[in-house]
Amino acid sequence: MLPLLKLLSDKEEHSLQEADEVLSDQFNLTESERRELLPSGQQPVFRNRLGWARTYMKKAGLLATTKRAHFKITDRGLELLNSNPKEINSEFLKRYPEFVEFKSIRRPKDDDFQIEIPDIDNNRTPEESLEYAYQKLRSELAKELLDVVKNCSPTFFEKLVVDLLIKMGYGGSRKDAGQALGKSGDGGIDGIVKEDKLGLDTIYIQAKKWENPVPVKEIRDFTGALASKKARKGIFITTSSFPSSVYEFVTQVEYKIVLIDGDQLSHLMIENNVGLSTINEYQVKKIDTDYFEED
């Protein structure tokens, strides 16, 4: 926060983009550090932190917004700089009542309910805290989901796989896709999906509910099953994993075979809402500055 306030000490209007470039150079950030994104991939980490530094000091009355993504120092900010502070952080800003009010969020009509906005000092911005918490919840859910899938019967697992692929946008219906399900001696084919809505190509599925890594022999047998069907594409899904030898093998055969292990399976189920129900949704919003621009 202090370097940003010093940048504004010339009393001129500055843009967020300009501040980003100047401070990135001042901090000697590498190209990799400048491009580092939040877990959502929606915004660079440094720009996010710069934005929150601006917000915190604006709420403390140290700088003011002049127009969209532009700001300048206030008299209070100049007074603070003249006192030559060694550092400006969240604890420091608590000397300003406006900042204390900003940091305290109350639920309407409930004075007993109060939460604190997370500090950004040596930690994470609110967006980072939210996104990393989301990633943690998702990771724990993926592990729990995979355990549940492993406890399903093989027949149910095969149906689950077909449901997932249809949810992912492959063509056909559950009825069409499941035409091979439950049939024994079908050459290692557990299901069929159409590659697109028009059914221009067919993709064959092999689903294995295993604990141990899938050996190369199983993939060889699957390619043989594809050959017997005169098929070119297949998806092999397992609740376990694949050794490196399997990945090497699929790059050498003429068929296009996609491998999905247990970790990928659980995350795909989460992304496509298979076997899950939503308990809460949180929308993160920002001011639409275009709306407030006057002609």
CATH tag for 147-271 (out of 3.40.1350.10, 3.40.50.10190, 3.40.50.720, 3.40.50.2300):
3.40.1350.10
Place of tokens 């998806």: 235
Q: What pLDDT sits at residue 185?
A: 43
Q: Which pLDDT belongs to residue 182?
A: 44
- From first to last of its 295 residues, the chain has per-residue pLDDT tens of 999 999 999 999 999 999 999 999 999 999 999 999 887 777 888 998 998 899 899 989 999 988 878 999 999 999 999 999 999 998 999 999 999 887 775 544 444 544 455 555 556 777 777 887 788 788 888 988 998 899 888 888 888 888 898 888 886 655 555 454 444 444 456 777 777 666 677 888 898 889 999 999 999 999 998 888 888 899 999 999 999 999 999 999 998 999 999 999 999 999 999 999 887 777 878 777 667 766 5
pLDDT score recorded for residue 23: 96
Please provide the distance, in angstroms rounded to a whole number, between the alpha carbons at the two ends of the chain.
Answer: 34
Locate 29 and state its tokens.
């950030």
pLDDT for the residue numbered 214: 94
Burial 244-258 (b: 16+ CB within 10 A, else e): eebeebbeeeeeebe
Taking the model in full, what pTM does it have? 0.61
pLDDT of residue 222: 92
User: Cβ–Cβ contacts within 10 Å for residue 134, how many?
Assistant: 13
Task: From residue 41, give the alpha-carbon distance in Å to each of 37, 38, 55.
Answer: 5, 5, 21
pLDDT computed for residue 216 by the predictor? 95
Domain boundaries, the chain: 2-123, 147-271
Residues 6+ apart with CB under 8 A from 254: none
Indicate the fold that domain 2-123 takes in CATH: Arc Repressor Mutant, subunit A (1.10.10)
